Structure 1
Amino acid sequence: MKSIDLTKGPITRSLLAIAAPLVAGNILQGLVEVADLFFVGRLSPAAIGGVGLAISVIFVLMTLIIGLAGGTTAFVSRYYGESNYPYAGRVLIQALILGFILSVVISVVGALFADEMLSLFQAPVDVIIEGGAYLRVLSLGIVTLVEFWIVSTFFQSIGDTKTPLLIILVINILNIILDPVLIFGIWLVPPMGVSGAAAATVITRAFGLGIGVFLLLTRLNAQMEFTRHLEADLSLMRRILRVAVPNMVQSGVRSVSYLVMYVIIASYGTLALSAFGIVSRIEMFALMPGFGLATAAAVMVGQNLGAENPDRSEQSVWKALELYGGFMAIITVLFLFFGADIAQFFDPSGLSDAYAVSYFQIVSPFYVLIAIAIVLSFALNGAGDTKKPMYATLVSYFLVQVPLALILPALTGTGLAGVWYAMAIGILVQTVALYLMFRSGKWRNIRI
């Protein structure tokens, strides 16, 4: 366990030193998502669509946690950059308390109202049945995912990205092993179907959380003084939430609009849902390495603002944009040329391939813009300026993407392809808005 001083030295080296373990961890996480999709895909197209639908609902419920994680990064990185280590530790304790409270809310809503929420999509009955089974199990164990996420965020915010990488490596290997055991049933274990995939995720995250807490208490307690700050600090919680809530809204808008898109796509049938379930998971896997770069940029922004060096913060962001944009350009080429092969790998029946290929052809050319939007959004959040990304997301999703997804298919006669065009236009609007907001430089003077 060793943190890196991100306020000194060559920017590229500092950025990559933090980003490399994050990228590796995100790739590992993406492999688990792909493994889940691979095994679930062996059940039925309805299972693919149901799990994709359930994950979309979980994303909406988890927006509270996404915002909390962003607030934790902003505070911990800022205090760590100021060398105020005990207060950074105090932030973690408050974030864990808030995370537990929010987890209880998510568990109750997800477990009790799984079928009702999935029914809002007007998806076929078989898709709702599969999605409900997955959603209930994941909701009941969501606290393990939430608290593990917060602990990992803390490590990353102090510049130690290797520790969470090693933990993720261990638990993801365990997850891939448990997937077929719990889904199909092996030896004395009865087959659980899609519920097995959710159970594997919950079990492995609980194991990872235990490792993380053990390391915090045995390796960092002397510096961070965790055990001295176990009580709730309502004043600090309010400050964290003041930064986190706009991030929660931003994530909520993105997730709700994603759900609305699922409702729209559901009107085109099970095969369209299956295709969207495939491409969205593959797309997330492709984006995950860049999330590591974006997170590293956010940590560098926070620590260097804490050290009163905003110029270094901005330079870190431009370097992250350069690296991530180049990577996504390569991904675009791969999807354009091999989209059909990728889709057929996950749906051996080949029935949903045409829908998936049309998505790749229309949306993947905008992947570089997605990279720019992600980095700029993370950077602003890392500075504690969380309202601007919220505004950009509100406009691009609710005022552009969703309305166009309802209008373009009938207006242009393109059918489902019109929905893909709406998504591409929304990406363009969001990227332009975030670029203008970041270039204004107001984030340099944010106080949290």
Structure 2
Amino acid sequence: MRAENHYPMLDASREDIVSGSLTRVLVVLAAPLVVQNFALVAQEVVDLFWVGRLGGTAVAGVGLAAVLVGLLLVPFMMLFTGTQVVTSQRVGAGDEAAARRVPFTSATLAIPLAAVVGVAVLLGAEPVVDRFTDEAQVATYAVAYLTAYIPALFTTSLSDTLEAGFTGWGQTRIALYVNAVAILVNVVVDPLLILGYGPFPRLEVFGAALATGIGYGVGALVALAVVLRGREGFRLTADAVRPHLATAREVVTVGAPIAGQNLGRQLARLVVIAVVSVAGGAAGLAAYHVGSRVATVAFVPAQGLAQAATSVVGQNLGAEHIDRARRATWIGVVMAAVGLGVLGVVQWLFPAFIAHVFVPGMAGTDLTYTVAYLQILAYGYWALGAIYTVEAGFNGAGETRVSMVSTLAQYWAVRVPIAVVVYVLTYDVTAVFWAVTLSNVAAAGWLLAYFAYTSRRGLFERAADLPESEPESDGATEGAATG
């Protein structure tokens, strides 16, 4: 029987996920995640808006730092994805005791990992930034942002790891609440610390990163409060917080390919941004950053749908419902590709208006490059929708290595070579923009073809045949999500 709650239209129980309408379940689970991701994007837009008050050079510096922050977060993605996949499979199999251990084990791994990454930032921020720009002020802003981001490594890793547990459990509305609190705090604190309103010091880009850390610190406290209160099986117990080596190994095993995937992606982005810096200078960097932020807004529905699909696929495989897992993936692909395709048309028609929404007053070369990037990106939006959701099918089955290999090929076999070669031949920064879109379309093509092939050749059957975990055995769950 479905667990009783006060929001029946916004929740999905295990019974809904493994036996109800797939379209409804995907929409119900994705809706809070889409709202949450839109809130995350709103936070980034607010950051960009207030940093934009400092000028184009500050926007360029934060844009460079944002790519480096993406690289810093790579090892944490291993924990986040591993937590969601393993939790969803345990819940689907009806083993709540084992499922509870997953997010708490991951959280204990995230904190020392944040300490190691923070030390690396302190030691290496300045020399690394200097390799990507010759403009002293751009470098100064980038180093300031990276240094101030260190506290955020701790707070975001704790908050996001617990949220991954909520999402894997099917409680996406709780994940929304946690993020909404974090983002609201960030949005309020942003202008106070960036521009120094009232009694607050003017910290400029340092304040933008610091506000992120403060916001997610509050979010982590909310997540812990919800866990202490307990909700639908996801609660704090003595067994859940006890160190559990097998669970840690399982999370890392499932999530490691995702870390490899993101490492390859972020390193490739560094190469691309280096080409942009050489080809377009500060104006090129500003356009790349604005274009990336606009694209992030467009991708939100597909990302939320993909997160929901990962949990739906994982729980249905845990319950050995093979055909439902397969159909959930294809339904998600169609919804995301069509939805993002429509957004791409809107972006192609109104690029200048969209650019000014993000950075009022943008003009000259900055605007020219940004308009070009927005229109070129729009051609590949449908492909990004397909990529996100078809990868959810593989990830939900524990085959995270597929996403890793695809991403490495997308960036290193297509995007980087096209960006470098075409720029050398044309000396035109738009060559980099075309490389981004072409690589997205290529990746969508081969991922869809490979999923169609492997889903008919036992992909989900192999995942569903994995043995169920035994709560009292330290080694019972090891490898259960890896296939």
- Contact kept, 8 Å, 1:123 with 1:263, in 2: the verdict is no
Return the alpha-carbon distance in structure 2 between the equivalents of residues 101 and 239 of structure 1.
18
- Contact kept, 8 Å, 1:99 with 1:146, in 2: the verdict is yes
Aligned partner of 2:378 in structure 1 is 364
Deviations along 1:313-359, one digit per CA (max 9) or x if unpaired, are 11111111122112211211121111112223415141301101111
Matched ranges for 1:220-369 at <5 A: 220=231, 224=235, 226-268=237-279, 269-345=281-357, 346=359, 348-351=361-364, 352-369=366-383
* Stretches of 4+ aligned residues off by more than 3 angstroms: 220-226
Unpaired runs of 5+ residues, structure 1, are none
Matched ranges for 1:131-170 at <5 A: 131-170=142-181
Q: Go from structure 1 to structure 2 and tell me whether the alpha carbon gap of 1:350 and 1:223 turns closer, same or farther (over 3 Å shift).
A: closer
| Cα drift, residue 375 of structure 1 | 0.9
What SS does the aligned partner of 1:43 have?
Answer: coil
Scaled by the length of structure 1, the TM-score of the pair is 0.96
Aligned partner of 1:391 in structure 2 is 405
What SS does the aligned partner of 1:7 have?
Answer: helix
- Contact kept, 8 Å, 1:123 with 1:267, in 2: the verdict is no
- Contact kept, 8 Å, 1:175 with 1:204, in 2: the verdict is yes
Deviations along 1:213-271, one digit per CA (max 9) or x if unpaired, are 11111114966553323232222212221111111100111111111111110102110
Deviations along 1:64-116, one digit per CA (max 9) or x if unpaired, are 11122111111000000011001011111211112112211221112322112
Q: Go from structure 1 to structure 2 and tell me whether the alpha carbon gap of 1:156 and 1:123 turns closer, same or farther (over 3 Å shift).
A: farther
Instruction: Identify the range of structure 1 (14-23 vs 110-119) with the bigger mean alpha-carbon deviation.
Output: 110-119
Scaled by the length of structure 2, the TM-score of the pair is 0.89
Q: Does 1:407 align with 2:416?
A: no
Aligned partner of 2:394 in structure 1 is 380
Q: Report the AA paired with residue 390 of structure 1.
A: M
| Cα drift, residue 3 of structure 1 | 5.4
Return the alpha-carbon distance in structure 2 between the equivalents of residues 240 and 335 of structure 1.
38
- Contact kept, 8 Å, 1:22 with 1:165, in 2: the verdict is yes
Matched ranges for 1:2-151 at <5 A: 4-5=13-14, 6-151=17-162
Aligned partner of 1:205 in structure 2 is 216
- Contact kept, 8 Å, 2:185 with 2:214, in 1: the verdict is no
Return the alpha-carbon distance in structure 1 between the equivalents of residues 193 and 238 of structure 2.
37
- Contact kept, 8 Å, 2:12 with 2:29, in 1: the verdict is no
Partner residue of 1:428 out of 441, 446, 452: 441
Instruction: Identify the range of structure 1 (211-220 vs 272-281) with the bigger mean alpha-carbon deviation.
Output: 211-220
Unpaired runs of 5+ residues, structure 2, are 6-10, 467-480
| Cα drift, residue 188 of structure 1 | 1.2
Q: Report the AA paired with residue 376 of structure 2.
A: I
| Cα drift, residue 289 of structure 1 | 2.1
Q: Does 1:438 align with 2:451?
A: yes
Return the alpha-carbon distance in structure 2 between the equivalents of residues 110 and 303 of structure 1.
38
Return the alpha-carbon distance in structure 2 between the equivalents of residues 123 and 47 of structure 1.
14
Return the alpha-carbon distance in structure 1 between the equivalents of residues 395 and 203 of structure 2.
40
Identity across matched positions, percent: 28
| Cα drift, residue 409 of structure 1 | 2.1
Deviations along 1:150-199, one digit per CA (max 9) or x if unpaired, are 11111111111111212222332222111111111111111010111111
Return the alpha-carbon distance in structure 2 between the equivalents of residues 104 and 184 of structure 1.
29
Q: Go from structure 1 to structure 2 and tell me whether the alpha carbon gap of 1:221 and 1:125 turns closer, same or farther (over 3 Å shift).
A: same
Return the alpha-carbon distance in structure 2 between the equivalents of residues 139 and 433 of structure 1.
38
What SS does the aligned partner of 2:149 have?
Answer: helix
Q: Go from structure 1 to structure 2 and tell me whether the alpha carbon gap of 1:347 and 1:117 turns closer, same or farther (over 3 Å shift).
A: farther
Return the alpha-carbon distance in structure 1 between the equivalents of residues 189 and 245 of structure 2.
40
| Cα drift, residue 295 of structure 1 | 0.3
Deviations along 1:400-443, one digit per CA (max 9) or x if unpaired, are 110111101233x2611111121122112211221122111243
| Cα drift, residue 51 of structure 1 | 0.9
